Amino acid sequence: MNRFLKAGILSLATLAGASLASAQDVIRFAVTDIDGAEAVQREMGPFKDAFEKISGLKVEFFPVSGRTVAVEAMAAEQVDFVLTGPAEYVVFNARLDAQPVVTWNRPDYYSNIAVLDSSAFQTAEDLKGQMISFGEIGSTSQHLSPATILAEAGLEYASDYEPVFLKRNIAMEALIKGEIAAIGLNLTHINQITEAFPDHKLRVLLKGPELPNDILLASSKVPAEVVDIVRRTFADHGEELIAAITSTEENEKYIGGSFTAEVTDADYDNVRKMFENVGVTEFTQFVGE
């Protein structure tokens, strides 16, 4: 029997509440920034329960240890849906023709270039010739967007300044010691650093625009009717699903968030421009890999 089809006896006649009919027994679901089976069950278990109850679909988590494992799993037809970031979506789409299903919208999702409040740096021009730390290489909010903010302010990547990649707390310590001039990071990370280093205040030197949101994408192998059930579940029951997702502390970034089902590949063209700002013109590989 085709894994996606139930012997021809199920119908898609209704898409409301728990009576939603499924053309697929199980959808296999991965999250690229949660490492391992125990963590994904802990952080996403309440979402799984709520989604299954509403949609009528069964969710089977496919644990991954990062974006590379996730894209390889989709290529091997081991996973159907992946929740990932904007930059990762660009690679999934280029390599596998994965399609956007629904965005997971995060309030105040934008990047910043931050310096110590006591720093003498006041303008982007002041950062010329300096060392600037970014977070995870290839991250939309920690690398690609901050680099784009600097580029739009007139600083060419890896030419007008030296990019380095340090974990946030280490970057903050280096900032305090004067070993680096600035950090590229998002608002959530600024809040975390402020809590971890209460005696040292950050000042936002440059702020970027709202970023494209995290996205749930589907393998090109998933039948259109199954993708439609998933999309409509988010569109029609967003508040219930957000409540379930944010019931775990690890997902606090989605508090006050929402979902957008009207999403197209073109919505991520500005992320492709971010790739180009760090010298990457092919989108089939993750930046830094």
**Residue 170, token pair as written in the block:** 């280490």
Residues of the chain with CATH 3.40.190.10: 17-107+212-277, 110-210
User: Which fold does the domain 17-107+212-277 belong to in CATH?
Assistant: D-Maltodextrin-Binding Protein; domain 2 (3.40.190)
> pLDDT tens digits, residue range 124-153?
999 999 999 998 899 999 999 999 999 999
* Helix (H) or strand (E) segment spanning residue 27: strand 26-31
Dmax (CA) of the chain:
70
- Rounded Cα distance between 120 and 226, Å, is 56
- Rounded Cα distance between 4 and 137, Å, is 36
Residue 5 in this model has a pLDDT that exceeds 50: no
By three-state DSSP, how is residue 54 classified? helix
pTM: 0.84
**142: which strand partners?**
none
Please report the pLDDT score of residue 118 as a whole number.
Answer: 95
Residue 6 in this model has a pLDDT that exceeds 50: no
Q: Are 54 and 17 in contact (CB under 8 A)?
A: yes
In Å, how far from its chain's centre is CA 60? Answer: 20
**110-210 under CATH 3.40.190.10, yes or no:** yes
